[in-house]
Amino acid sequence: MVIPTPLLMMLSPIVVFLLGFLGEEMKIEKLREGAAVVMSAVSVAAVYMLYLMLKSTPDGILLFHLQAAPPLGACFEIDMLGILMAFSVTLLTFFATLYSVKYMEHDTRLTEFYTLLAAMSVGMMGVAFAGDLFTLFVFWELMCIASYVLVAFRKDLWGPIEAGFKYFVMSALGAAVIFFAMAFLYGMAGTVNFAQLSDALRGQPLNMWLYMVFGMLVVGFGIKSAIVPMHTWLPDAHPEAPSPISALLSGVVIATGLYGLTRVLFLTFDPGMFKLPIAFLAVLTMTLGNVMALRQSDIKRLLAYSSIAQIGYMLVGLAAGTAYGVMGLFLHVFNHSIMKGMAFLASGSIAHETGTRDIKSLRGVGKMMPLTSLCLFIALLGLGGVPGTNGFISKYHLFSAAFGSGLGWLGIMGVLNSALSMAYYLRIMQVLLASPDEGFKAKEAPVLMVAVTLVMAVLIVFLGVWPAPIIGFATAASEALVNGLSTFIGAVLG
Amino acid sequence: MNDAVYLTAIFALFSIGFYCLAVKRNMIRILLGIEIILNAGNLAFIYFASLHSGGGFVDPLGQSIVIMSIILGGCVIAVGLSLVVYAYKHFKTMDVRKLRRLKW
């Protein structure tokens, strides 16, 4: 079968690299930035085209493979869930690329930067579209390798190198553990294709090997999605990366880890089996994330700890184990990608203009950078779950899913944590609004950076007031994963 | 008999890699630990491919995965080694325990 046109956007890193190289050689300013922005916009359009293609199929799954049919060959199996993930990824990549044009203009080696940015985005899309464990692993490594280099991109400073090395060791260990677990899944089922794997393993009596595989999957994917106690790399790596990269890492890379975990767990195990361990991890993750965030003085580090807490909320949806819970999970993934991405971009603008990330020395920035601060406020209110923002909608669905599936204590813990998190969000707002110290000056960020954050702020409020379309999208995605499993298997095995 | 030998080798490799990560201080040894764990996965794939043989041939799927995984492992370690070079330039040491300037 031929590869359809929309999937050709997976070649975008190559295009960005070639055009960037050409631009450097021919001294055409801005060719690489132009190429990067256009390619990321094309990716969003391509995901939309795939969405339309998927809509017109009868069984809700698109199957693409290069040579051999699925049992042997590697393939893409695109369902609504994959489209939703890919949509979050491409949308945030587009915003981050647009923001980088101004933010990174004084850095060198920008061709490499934009190529890696595109490669990371393609890696995440590939993970979302993968139809077998092998494809998933290859794109996983593409995403990982690009993100290691991007975290340590400013190699002349010691901070990014130290953070990058910690991130590298943890994350490479995670990938190796996932690979080890895949080997055992392959050993038990004789295949790596998702549909056949599910056909062979789901509903089987649990034995020692399945428990071992479960543990390894949780550890391996958990390292990437920063589930406590595998989170130690995140508070170092996310603040030290350049701001657009922090936005992508916090917004979608950790969510991709969660996507992988959700996908493989639902394919291999019954929800009854993994409910309690995941619920336990969820409570641990959100509590530790919130408590540690309270004591931070660096604004980006605070946001990084807040990401850990948000991963805890998302795990609530997985622990619920129902289609409704998974709907809440992926609704929150999408909303969180916009909110946290924007919070990192706005705090990046502030750090860019004032030259500091220390919260105490940011007194009065709200008066000097009104638009950026307004955006940051909206993002923080959304992260705290204030009604009227999209964060409220998805948290509401997550916690009511927990109540609905008999895990009331988990829902209560979530609500309490959500209230606790407002403490540190409000502290940032209070500092920004305080009257400035003598002699402290900053001006509003460049127009392009402000425009990107403003558009994202409008999205947050818009999806908070009128959430129907994205809820419908997320419901279709969760139905495809949880209830549509037999359709999925039938469509692939034919 | 054979099964036990292979499984023991797989888990021994895995444990050695984990031990290496947990105990060693030298950055390059830590990278080797990661590589050893990846190789435990590779060996597991090779072994399970031989279990799923059909018509006198081992399953080619497992073996092809291993070839790709070796390539990917090489890429990952290359990135890791370049990070080690820069870490050495900044910190003038190969000891990972010196890399704790970033606070909690």
Residues of B in contact with A158 (CB under 8 A): 90-91, 101
Beta-bridged to residue A76, according to DSSP, are: A64, A130
Question: CB-based contact (8 Å) between A235 and chain B?
Answer: yes
| Continuous segment of H or E residues that includes residue A268 | helix A254-268
| CATH number of the domain within which B35 lies | 1.10.287.3510
For residue B65, what is the nearest residue in chain A, using CA coordinates? A134
Residue A436 to residue A184: CA distance in whole angstroms: 59
Q: How confident is the model at residue B1 (pLDDT cuts 50, 70, 90)?
A: low
Mean pLDDT of B6-12: 94
Contacts 24+ apart (CB under 8 A), B55-63: B59/A190, B60/A72, B61/A72, B61/A186, B61/A191, B61/A192, B62/A186
What does R_g of chain B's alpha carbons equal in angstroms?
A: 18
Question: CB-based contact (8 Å) between A109 and chain B?
Answer: no
Where do we find the tokens 């990278």? B31
Mark yes or no for CB contact A158/B91 under 8 Å. yes
**A142, A168, B31, B32, B94 from B86: Cα distances, Å:** 22, 13, 15, 18, 11
Residue A342 to residue A198: CA distance in whole angstroms: 37
For residue A180, what is the nearest residue in chain B, using CA coordinates? B41
In a domain, B88, yes or no: yes
Tokens coding A49: 């085209």
Q: Which domain holds residue B46?
A: 2-96
Question: CB-based contact (8 Å) between B32 and chain A?
Answer: no
Using the Cα atoms of residue A168, residue A171, residue A174 and residue A176 in order, give the sign of their dihedral.
negative
Question: What pLDDT is recorded for position A486?
Answer: 81
Kindly report the number of other CB atoms within 10 A of residue A273's CB atom: 16
Tell me what ipTM this predicted complex has: 0.96
Question: What pLDDT is recorded for position A206?
Answer: 86
Which site among A149, A153, A173 would you substitute to test the B interface, given the most B Cβ atoms closer than 10 Å to its Cβ? A173
CB A338 within 8 A of CB A456: yes
Question: CB-based contact (8 Å) between B13 and chain A?
Answer: no
**Closest CB from A161, A191, A235 relative to B83:** A161
CB B55 within 8 A of CB B49: no
In a domain, B102, yes or no: no
Question: What pLDDT is recorded for position A71?
Answer: 67
pLDDT in tens, A19-76: 999 999 998 878 999 999 999 999 999 999 999 999 998 888 888 887 777 667 788 8
Mark yes or no for CB contact B79/A158 under 8 Å. no
* 3-class secondary-structure state, position A130: strand
DSSP states along A191-240: --BHHHHHHHHTTSPP-HHHHHHHHHHHHHHHHHTT-TTS-TTHHHHHHH
**Closest CB from A155, A162, A168 relative to B101:** A162
Residue B104 has pLDDT above 60, yes or no: no
In a domain, B101, yes or no: no
Kindly report the number of other CB atoms within 10 A of residue A42's CB atom: 17
Mark yes or no for CB contact A162/B102 under 8 Å. yes
CB A308 within 8 A of CB A447: no
Question: What pLDDT is recorded for position A424?
Answer: 92
Question: What pLDDT is recorded for position A20?
Answer: 92
Q: How confident is the model at residue B44 (pLDDT cuts 50, 70, 90)?
A: very high
Quick one: which of A306, A282, A284, A310 has its CA closest to A293? A306
**Closest CB from A145, A166, A176 relative to B79:** A145
**A97, A233, A397, B83 from A241: Cα distances, Å:** 15, 12, 32, 14
Which site among A140, A150, A179, A298 would you substitute to test the B interface, given the most B Cβ atoms closer than 10 Å to its Cβ? A179
Residue A165 to residue A41: CA distance in whole angstroms: 32
Mark yes or no for CB contact B60/A164 under 8 Å. no
**A88, A113, A252, A353, A416 from A33: Cα distances, Å:** 21, 10, 22, 22, 44
Phi, psi of B95 (to 5 degrees): -90, 120
The residue length of chain B stands at 104
Question: What pLDDT is recorded for position B60?
Answer: 85
In a domain, B77, yes or no: yes
Quick one: which of A456, A379, A451, A484 has its CA closest to A103? A451
Residue B41 has pLDDT above 60, yes or no: yes
Inter-chain CB pairs, A–B, below 8 Å: 101
**A101, A107, A153, A278, A413 from A104: Cα distances, Å:** 6, 5, 11, 39, 40
Mark yes or no for CB contact A169/B76 under 8 Å. no
Residue A212 to residue A9: CA distance in whole angstroms: 38
Question: What pLDDT is recorded for position A196?
Answer: 87
Beta-bridged to residue A459, according to DSSP, are: none
Question: What pLDDT is recorded for position A1?
Answer: 54
Domain count, chain B: 1
CB A132 within 8 A of CB A138: no
**Closest CB from A176, A236, A292 relative to B41:** A176
Q: A162 Cβ partners below 8 Å, 6+ apart?
A: A236, A240, B87, B90, B91, B99, B100, B101, B102
CB B67 within 8 A of CB B7: no
Residue A341 to residue A346: CA distance in whole angstroms: 9
Residues of chain A with pLDDT under 70: 1-2, 70-71, 494
CB A343 within 8 A of CB A383: yes
The residue length of chain A stands at 494
For residue A70, what is the nearest residue in chain B, using CA coordinates? B61
Kindly report the number of other CB atoms within 10 A of residue A58's CB atom: 7
pLDDT in tens, A243-275: 999 999 999 999 999 999 999 999 999 888 899
pLDDT in tens, B14-40: 999 999 999 999 999 999 999 999 999
Question: CB-based contact (8 Å) between B84 and chain A?
Answer: yes
Question: What pLDDT is recorded for position A2?
Answer: 60
Peptide bond into A229 cis (omega under 30): yes
Question: What pLDDT is recorded for position B103?
Answer: 65
Mark yes or no for CB contact B38/A176 under 8 Å. yes
Residue A321 to residue A405: CA distance in whole angstroms: 8
Q: How far is A231 from chain B (nearest CA, A)?
A: 12
